[in-house]
């Protein structure tokens, strides 16, 4: 072998040895890190549980504090409302004592007046028994004469079915032939 080849061979061997050392150092670092990771894996459940307990305790403390604050505010508001209700009850008692016979007379008078208005209104808008009997008699008379009419209410007025093509009868030409029920 020539000297140049020997030099190159020695250089390659030196480079290979250096790379082998680097690989060994890297493997050592990897093994060390893996050991540290395994160590962390052992403590990870305990660490997670500890963190969970701490956060749960913090949340519980915060919630209890908020509830206490709200309970205190609610109790104060209830006290205010209670005192307001007591004042209102006292005011009602005083107003009740102040109500004399004049107020009672006015109230009874207003109620009687309203009842009287209802009675008078029903007298004018509800037909009497005589009116009902007269209407029934008219209907019976029409039935006896063969006038079985189709009668309805049209906008509050009494309407009968007629044949509009057979109109213009009578002296004023305002009568039409009736369209009787079948």
Alpha-carbon span 115 to 117, nearest angstrom: 5
* pLDDT tens, position by position, 44-94: 778 778 888 888 888 888 888 888 888 788 888 888 888 888 888 888 877
Q: Which two tokens stand for residue 130?
A: 């005589």
The neighbour count for residue 132, using CB atoms within 10 Å, is 11
Alpha-carbon span 140 to 127, nearest angstrom: 18
Q: Which two tokens stand for residue 122?
A: 């029903």
Percent of the chain at pLDDT exceeding 70:
92
* pLDDT tens, position by position, 126-141: 877 888 888 888 878 7
Output the CA angle 40-46-49, nearest 5 degrees.
130
Kindly report the pTM of this predicted structure: 0.27
């Amino acid at each position: 072998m020539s000297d140049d080849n020997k030099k190159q061979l020695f250089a390659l061997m030196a480079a290979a040895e250096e790379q082998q050392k680097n690989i060994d150092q890297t493997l050592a670092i990897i093994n060390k890190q893996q050991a540290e990771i395994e160590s962390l894996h052992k403590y990870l459940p305990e660490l997670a549980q500890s963190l969970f307990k701490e956060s749960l305790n913090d949340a519980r403390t915060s919630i209890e504090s908020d509830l206490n604050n709200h309970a205190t505010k609610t109790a104060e508001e209830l006290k205010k409302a209670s005192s307001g209700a007591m004042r209102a009850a006292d005011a009602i008692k005083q107003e009740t004592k102040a109500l004399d016979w004049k107020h009672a007379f006015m109230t009874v008078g207003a109620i009687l007046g309203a009842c009287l208005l209802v009675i008078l209104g029903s007298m004018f808008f509800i037909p009497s028994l005589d009116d009902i009997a007269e209407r029934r008699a008219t209907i019976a008379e029409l039935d006896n004469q063969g006038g079985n009419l189709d009668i309805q209410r049209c906008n509050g007025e009494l309407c009968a079915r007629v044949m509009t093509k057979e109109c213009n009868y009578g002296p004023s030409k305002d009568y039409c032939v009736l369209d009787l029920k079948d």
